[in-house]
A and B are shown apart, each in its own frame.
Chain A
Amino acid sequence: MNKSQELRLIRKAAAGHRDSAEQLVQTFQGSLYGYILRISGRPDVSEDVVQEAFVRVLTNLDRFDPRFRFSTWLFTIGRRVYFNMCEKKKPLSDSAGLETWRDVSDSGNGRIDRADTTTACRDVLQAELMRLPSDQREVVVLFHQHEWPIALIAEHTGMPVGTVKSHLHRARIKLRDGLTHRPEPLGVETLKMQEVGR
């Protein structure tokens, strides 16, 4: 969706058009969910955050500044909702979040289904992500998952560009070390299998 289509949808949704609001939600819910899921590690929290963020956005669409992208605004609100939720509920620790992630991803028998290699890889990767400090995790997710420029990440997170780069670099090194020297190198193995398969 280009920017003009996006703006048209926003204008119509702001005027009370339900279908346009629905289209906005369907277009952007996946990316927001992925962002929150990556930084929280918890699907239930992500769902709540996505719902609350969208409701706030849809009820305040008249405040949207058309100079910016809708996704940036949505992510900013989602991030705020998530941090507010963290403060209120004092969520589980990162390892607990990881467990929740595994519970959802497992095929019900407590073991990752090796047939779903992509899911397995992402699980391993998510496990390593959850070992990162939250700042580094968020920067890595925004940069590599959503391909935001560093300057935009800096604006979004309120950090200087140099700090964002530094977080990004440290996070990559930790991820690389974690993924390659993993005691149970499931993720890397699976990745290699994937590469060979191609």
Chain B
Amino acid sequence: MNTGPLRSAGGRSGPRKAAKDDGQARRLRERLVNECLDSIVEGDVGMARAMIRASAEVAPGADRDVAELRRLLRPLGKAPCAPDLTSRILAETQHRRPFLSCSTRHQISAWRVALAASLLGLITGGYLISELGNPSADDRLAVTSRPSTLAAVSPTVSLAPDLLIPHDSQRSKPDVYLSFANEASLESPFRRTHDVFVAQSVGIPSIMESISARPDHPALAGRSPTADARASANVTELAAASRGQASLLLGSRTPNATILLGSGDVGSAFAHSRRSPEGSTLLGGFRGLDDAALTPDFLRGTGTHQNLMQPWIKLRPPVRSRPW
């Protein structure tokens, strides 16, 4: 067997392999030294020691290399002596954006405090005015129990010919609608009385249609020809509240809900609805009307109310089992 080439190859590869191994060992050691130094500088000396211990066999003397490198780089940790540039810097800063004197700073602080205080006062004042102008629904209901107010409003609503009462009004149904439509809309009333407990209607057709078209509230009662005794009986209590020029709130309490009829602008009516008791429903409001304008003629649709109607504002489902 001719082994010459193998031997010669082996003879050449031996030193190459050894050199390669040396190179690998050197790289491994350098890498270890670097990792250790990273850990030491970042404060994890324990990790560095553990690494050195773990690799003591494959990279002997790595600890000496680490110590040597640390020693060589130690002067780098000392910052060079720096000239004092403070005066130059402050002078240049003063030139670009002047520092403020003590009195000016105090003036600015005082102005800021005054501004904040005035803003706070404005916000508080606005809130108080709005609260005084729009008392809560509970307050209003308490106020409306005054006999004079009730006496003034009850006949008005009781006389309205468009007060609608379905035949099965004694049944407990969840949805109560208070809407407004003119006479024309009442010529072809929507009769879905099985869904309706009570409804009152005065106003323009589009509103009725929009209400009745709602799939989740499909009910709108038919028309009662006159405001009869039953109608008056159902309007068991009227709640009217007005303070000064504030809007008027009419309430009709039924076994299942409170119907609130707001007069005034949209904002005030909406505020009423938000403050109304749980289970109340507010469907419409009159814009620009005060108590005096809410006359029987107006409610009959003979007034000029059509242009004053506000669209549907809000509907909240009443509480079914709430006792009144």
Binding site for B on A (CB under 8 A): 15-18, 21-22, 25-26, 29-31, 33-34, 37-38, 43, 47, 50-51, 54-55, 58-59, 118, 121-122, 125, 140-141, 143-145, 147, 149-150, 165, 168-169, 172-173, 175-176, 179-180, 188, 191, 195
Contact = CB atoms under 8 A, between A and B. Distances in A.
B80 A33 contact: yes
A34 B89 contact: no
Given A125-B75, A143-B41, 7 more contacts: A17-B100, A21-B99, A30-B82, A43-B83, A55-B89, A149-B42, A191-B71
Q: Counting chain A CB atoms within 10 Å of each CB, which of B31, B73, B100, B105 scores highest?
A: B73
Contacts of A18: 90, 94, 99
8 contacts: A18-B94, A26-B86, A29-B89, A59-B93, A121-B75, A145-B76, A149-B42, A173-B30
B89 A58 contact: yes
10 closest Cβ pairs, A-B complex: A16-B100, A34-B79, A33-B82, A18-B99, A169-B34, A30-B82, A121-B75, A54-B89, A59-B97, A144-B76
A145 B77 contact: yes
Contacts of B68: 176
B88 interface: yes
Given A34-B82, A55-B93, A168 B34 contact: yes
Given A16-B100, A176-B69, A54 B93 contact: yes
A16 B75 contact: no
Given A21-B93, A58-B89, A176-B68, A34 B80 contact: yes
A37 B37 CA distance: 24
Contacts of B74: 191
Contacts of A31: 79
Contacts of B82: 29-30, 33-34, 37, 50
Contacts of A191: 71-72, 74-75
B64 interface: no
A58 B86 CA distance: 12
B99 A16 contact: yes
A173 B37 CA distance: 12
B138 interface: no
Contacts of A21: 90, 93, 99
B84 interface: yes
